[in-house]
């Protein structure tokens, strides 16, 4: 009789509490790719609504349907995110709490919430770790033709490849923007970066008319199609940080040094360059102000979004003329210091970029010159893409 009574109590309790302990299973269908805005998976149980939790920050991912997304009769769900996934995130499926919460608890600690499956990491299949390669193309408008757009034969287009290496990483910790640390915490603020750049574009050049056509002492700035190769090193110091579209961002200031050369790829027509060398070398140093998109993964390089370089240096393609023999009219080119300013701004949420470059002559040395090379100003507009993200979208063979 006692055995029958004991079995009855167990059966009654199991029926009473069946909804609470009934087995509910679910899992996110991986892999999760950086930049994606959809997460799919399955959930099986008595409840159909699901939510997605960022394990590192403890925050719910923002969905287009609100805090939760429904599953269909077969238990499948397809949640649409408002903001794309970021490399380094760890996402886990969760059943929402049955009772309202204060909104101050991490999603994994909400009373009544149930974590399902295992966390799935967001990966970047086209990523190259601490290296990044970007591609940029567009049109250049220069002041030597009154800022009028040139035809294709006059090299108004430019193509740019830049490979950047982050030698000393840093940024913010993985819990950036979390309930515990809404303002993020620094992991490291001083970074070390280098870059290698190749560009095909119209480049400024000090030119003079040929003796057959005009006075060869008349010096002016012209443009010629040229190939540029440049390398540089800069040391970013992160100064401020914020969260935008679930991704940490930071401003930085950095000392920078750069050097390179450019070589013309077309003839100068009725003019001749002041510097007849085939390779025009240059070097400059100064400061860079910029904007990084910071990674959550410690093995990933930050992405350079915008920057402004203010440097001073010597440029072989922009030389002045000084007299050698005033009676005979003989001259020679000299390379004076010049101020170079370059800025690139990416339109938020798009691959579109706009920028400018200016090269301004400086009279730091009291040298008698026949004519100083004019200042050069040019604007460019185009598109910019991270090659790793483009490669990640290609079919896997």
For 157-200, how does the pLDDT look when each residue is reduced to its tens digit (9 = 90+)? 889 999 999 999 888 887 776 666 677 788 889 999 999 999 98
In whole angstroms, give the CA distance from residue 292 to residue 271.
43
Backbone dihedral angles phi then psi of residue 210, each to the nearest 5 degrees: -70, 150
For 44-99, how does the pLDDT look when each residue is reduced to its tens digit (9 = 90+)? 877 678 889 888 878 888 899 888 898 888 889 999 999 888 888 889 998 887 65
For 191-239, how does the pLDDT look when each residue is reduced to its tens digit (9 = 90+)? 999 999 999 888 777 776 665 444 445 666 677 788 999 999 999 999 9
Q: Are strands 76-80 and 171-172 parallel, antiparallel or unpaired?
A: unpaired
In this prediction the pTM is 0.78
Q: Which of 154, 258, 252, 270 is nearest to 201 (CA)?
A: 154
Tell me, what's the pLDDT at 5?
46
Least confident span in 4-13, 122-131, 230-239: 4-13
Residue by residue, DSSP assigns 223-273 as EEEEEEEEEEEE--EEEEEEEETTEEEEEEEEEEEEEEEEEE-S--TTEEE
Q: Is 354 within 8 Å of 380 (Cβ atoms)?
A: yes
Residue 123, strand partner residues: 33
Q: Comparing 221 with 279, which gets the higher pLDDT?
A: 279
Residue range 21-123, CATH number: 2.60.40
In whole angstroms, give the CA distance from residue 109 to residue 118.
16
Q: Is 198 within 8 Å of 160 (Cβ atoms)?
A: yes
In whole angstroms, give the CA distance from residue 222 to residue 206.
6
**For residue 210, how many other CB atoms are within 10 A of its CB?**
13
Backbone dihedral angles phi then psi of residue 326, each to the nearest 5 degrees: -65, -35
Q: Comparing 3 with 74, which gets the higher pLDDT?
A: 74
Distances (CA, A) of 358 to 174, 312, 314, 342: 39, 11, 14, 6
In whole angstroms, give the CA distance from residue 308 to residue 234.
13
Segment holding 133, helix H or strand E:
strand 131-142
Q: Which of 263, 275, 193, 201 is nearest to 234 (CA)?
A: 193
In whole angstroms, give the CA distance from residue 295 to residue 247.
8
Each domain of the chain, given as residue ranges in start order, spans: 21-123, 131-392
Q: Which of 57, 92, 52, 89 is nearest to 300 (CA)?
A: 89
Highest-pLDDT range among 16-30, 60-74, 225-239, 362-376: 225-239
């Amino acid at each position: 009789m006692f055995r029958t009574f004991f079995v009855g109590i167990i059966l009654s309790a199991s029926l009473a509490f069946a909804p609470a302990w009934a087995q509910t299973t679910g899992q996110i269908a991986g892999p999760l790719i950086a930049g994606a805005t959809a997460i799919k998976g399955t959930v099986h149980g008595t409840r159909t609504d699901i939510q997605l939790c960022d394990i590192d920050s403890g925050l719910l991912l923002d969905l287009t349907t609100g805090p939760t997304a429904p599953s269909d009769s077969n238990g499948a769900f397809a949640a649409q995110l408002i903001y794309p996934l970021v490399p380094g995130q760890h996402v886990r499926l969760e059943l929402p709490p049955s009772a309202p919460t204060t909104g101050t608890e991490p999603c994994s600690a909400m009373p009544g919430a149930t974590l399902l499956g295992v966390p799935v990491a967001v990966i970047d299949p086209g990523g190259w770790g601490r290296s990044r390669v970007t591609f940029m193309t567009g049109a250049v408008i220069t002041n030597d033709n009154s800022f009028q757009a040139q035809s294709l034969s006059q090299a108004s287009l430019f193509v740019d490849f830049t490979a950047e290496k982050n030698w000393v990483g840093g940024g913010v910790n993985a819990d950036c923007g979390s309930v515990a640390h809404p303002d993020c915490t620094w992991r490291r603020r001083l970074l070390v970066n280098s870059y290698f750049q190749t560009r095909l574009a119209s480049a400024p050049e000090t030119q003079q008319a040929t003796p057959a056509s005009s006075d060869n002492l008349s010096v002016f700035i012209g443009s010629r199609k040229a190939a540029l190769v440049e390398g540089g090193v800069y040391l970013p110091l992160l100064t401020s940080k914020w969260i935008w579209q679930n991704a940490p961002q930071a401003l930085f200031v950095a000392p920078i040094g750069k050097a390179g050369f450019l070589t013309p790829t077309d003839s100068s027509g009725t003019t001749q360059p002041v510097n007849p060398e085939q390779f025009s070398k240059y070097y400059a140093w100064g400061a860079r102000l910029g904007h990084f998109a910071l990674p959550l993964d410690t093995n990933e390089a930050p992405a350079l979004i915008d920057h402004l370089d203010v440097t001073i240096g010597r440029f072989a393609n922009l030389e002045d003329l000084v007299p050698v023999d005033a009676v005979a009219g003989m001259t020679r080119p000299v390379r004076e210091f010049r101020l170079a300013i370059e800025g690139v701004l990416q339109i938020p949420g798009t691959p579109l970029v706009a920028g400018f470059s200016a090269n301004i002559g400086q009279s730091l040395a009291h040298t008698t010159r026949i004519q100083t090379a004019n200042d050069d100003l040019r604007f460019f507009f185009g598109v910019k893409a991270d090659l790793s993200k483009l490669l990640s979208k290609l079919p896997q063979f």
